[in-house]
Structure 1
């Protein structure tokens, strides 16, 4: 028992440190920080409750029967909350009221059954001698935990399509270590592993968030300049054709000066999402400057490129119908041929320059179409 308590205390200390770092971290986006902090604080509470119940169980003092029952009620009631938090913040349905209500039903039902267990012993029972035993419905909180974890895994898989393979490898233990702890604790009654495993999982999740800050732009959620340059370097030895598409957001400076940087930031965000959506499945999107974006596509046909650019134009028309300040994107592209990569004038960097020049030609045409626009 002492070793279990020591492990829990170490887990609490580690989580407290990472919560402190998370609060100070201004690079990782605020939403992802809050996911981690909420889940970590809940886990610390559960670890403290676990230590409390262990100490009460060791004691033979029957005066501790009531607090022992209350501690178990809190522990079993809150146990599905960690995967619930992770699911809620990672789901794309945050604003769907019906979906959110559906999610809370198992959580509320579990809490209700745990409260009833004070007298009935459905989930657990602490007798008059302060001895703890499992109830007939002991697996109910565990089943609800697994239910939320499964939905969380599905949500993460959907949201991780854009992640590189090395990022997904980090996510694997984040998702499955807690489930492993749950299974082992069910099979071996004397083992108490769930919240230690969850703590390890959350620590790995925090490392994952730190890793992402070096690859993804926090404002837009797409890949950043560092990731772009790393991808460009791969084409020195990569035996693949590529298409580079450059984008520039017009009127950003004027928007910032007239309406403020918050409105300008919102334009950048929507521009990035439109570009990412237009090339989803055929190319990787990057923010390489303040209002400059790039997409790199491997082995795509001219027809696919035309379809993607047509989708982009359609999305711009659709979003601008609802906007007072229009989003105008200039773009240009060039093709990289693997068979010509030994020629410096046909290198991937040369292709990038050609795409940039094509973008400025398109930008000039947009000036004529929309009137005089300042150089951004």
Structure 2
């Protein structure tokens, strides 16, 4: 038994990490779809880490039931790989689109698992992936075993393609974490192909899971969950830094016009679309010259660093971007804004109040124009 512990010590270590993650997840009262997916991934990964050494332990052993144990553990080990891959992709998909129905409709990306299961059933009668000799109870690879590794590699490469395709919808931090999460299993498989005693194929998945849980599930996020802009905490942190550093900057405060009416008339789902559309406009226009944030509700802010001589140009670009849609509600979206440049004797609160007051005056004027007859409004 001690020899097995030494040989599979990395599996024991990885299993300990998974147990720790699971216990930490059980301490929270918050139940989310991402937490449920992560628990399933932990269960499947733990199963693979336990099954792998069992296939080695039962190999060559001769006792009643040994053949069944050797065959069944290998059967399940072949099956669990695509299951984990599908669950990982489901997690990333939900983080990007926040739509559980989308995951359900895609069967949790388990198409490769279903195909693998059918092949393994066929394998019982006509070994193509593996076989176990009944006389010696020894494992032997089948002639088409490489197809299984190809399916696994394709699954993780498809995840990378999925990530590249939708990378603009998530933060750079998430892209990096997911890339590591997807690449480490591939590297683990390559290492184990050269030396089967280096059990990195399944244990490498634990690295990605650990990073996902620590950096995405537990650490406070610096972004707004809906719009993927920076949140109020990030806005205040950046503002505090610029005030202390005495660097030139200014702030733009935005508020959407008639947002309550849009929610009341078209529903909150359309309201979310409006917020996302406006957030995308800010992100597109200010990505290089400022930090765009959602302060809450339909209130947004942009911190403009350095030269602020082109504020009106930026505003016009935002208006132009908002028109790039066929959706009538989104296309009719308007906003009010206020800009204030920071001076050395101004506090963060004073700066915000000045910009907010200008925004409020513009909003008041906008409502006044809206209530005037069309000809008089144009005259103003």
TM-score, with length taken from structure 2: 0.74
For 2:69, the equivalent position in structure 1 comes to: 67
For 1:273, the equivalent position in structure 2 comes to: 276
Contact 2:153 2:186 in 1 (8 A): yes
Contact 2:227 2:279 in 1 (8 A): no
Alignment of 1:217 with 2:227, yes or no, is: no
SS in 1 for 2:137: coil
Alignment of 1:203 with 2:210, yes or no, is: yes
* Residue 271 of structure 1, CA deviation: 4.0
Equivalent of residue 11 in structure 1, options 10, 14, 22: 14
* Residue 175 of structure 1, CA deviation: 3.2
For 1:177, the equivalent position in structure 2 comes to: 184
Contact 1:332 1:362 in 2 (8 A): yes
For 2:252, the equivalent position in structure 1 comes to: 244
CA deviations over 1:329-365 (Å, ceiling 9, x no partner): 64304265xxxx6x42688876644432232123213
Contact 1:222 1:272 in 2 (8 A): no
SS in 2 for 1:344: coil
- Please provide the CA RMSD for this pair: 4.1
> CA distance change for structure 1 residues 355 and 151 in 2, over 3 Å: closer, same or farther?
farther
For 2:127, the equivalent position in structure 1 comes to: 121
> CA distance change for structure 1 residues 217 and 102 in 2, over 3 Å: closer, same or farther?
closer
Equivalent of residue 336 in structure 2, options 294, 308, 331: 331
For 1:192, the equivalent position in structure 2 comes to: 199
SS in 2 for 1:191: coil
Contact 1:220 1:273 in 2 (8 A): yes
TM-score, with length taken from structure 1: 0.75
Equivalent of residue 117 in structure 2, options 102, 111, 116: 111
Partners in 2 of 1:3 and 1:290 — Cα distance? 56
Partners in 2 of 1:249 and 1:31 — Cα distance? 34
For 1:344, the equivalent position in structure 2 comes to: 344
Alignment of 1:360 with 2:345, yes or no, is: no
Between 1 and 2, higher relative CO (CA 8 Å, sep ≥ 6) is seen in: 1
> CA distance change for structure 1 residues 23 and 209 in 2, over 3 Å: closer, same or farther?
farther
SS in 2 for 1:197: helix
* Residue 311 of structure 1, CA deviation: 2.8
CA deviations over 1:184-226 (Å, ceiling 9, x no partner): 1111122222111112221111112136533133455443211
Partners in 1 of 2:259 and 2:152 — Cα distance? 49
CA deviations over 1:11-42 (Å, ceiling 9, x no partner): 33432442343355477x93433342232222
User: Where do 1:12-161 residues align within 5 Å?
Assistant: 12-22=15-25, 25=28, 30-57=32-59, 59-61=61-63, 63-91=65-93, 100=106, 105-128=111-134, 129-161=136-168
Structure 1 residue runs without a partner (length 5+): 322-326, 372-376
CA deviations over 1:213-266 (Å, ceiling 9, x no partner): 3313345544321111223245354977666342257565x999x99xxx66x5
Contact 1:247 1:329 in 2 (8 A): no
- Equivalent residues, number: 353
Alignment of 1:311 with 2:311, yes or no, is: no
Structure 2 residue runs without a partner (length 5+): 372-380
Contact 2:89 2:159 in 1 (8 A): yes
> CA distance change for structure 1 residues 113 and 221 in 2, over 3 Å: closer, same or farther?
same
Partners in 1 of 2:180 and 2:220 — Cα distance? 19
> CA distance change for structure 1 residues 107 and 134 in 2, over 3 Å: closer, same or farther?
same
* Residue 45 of structure 1, CA deviation: 2.5
> CA distance change for structure 1 residues 131 and 297 in 2, over 3 Å: closer, same or farther?
farther
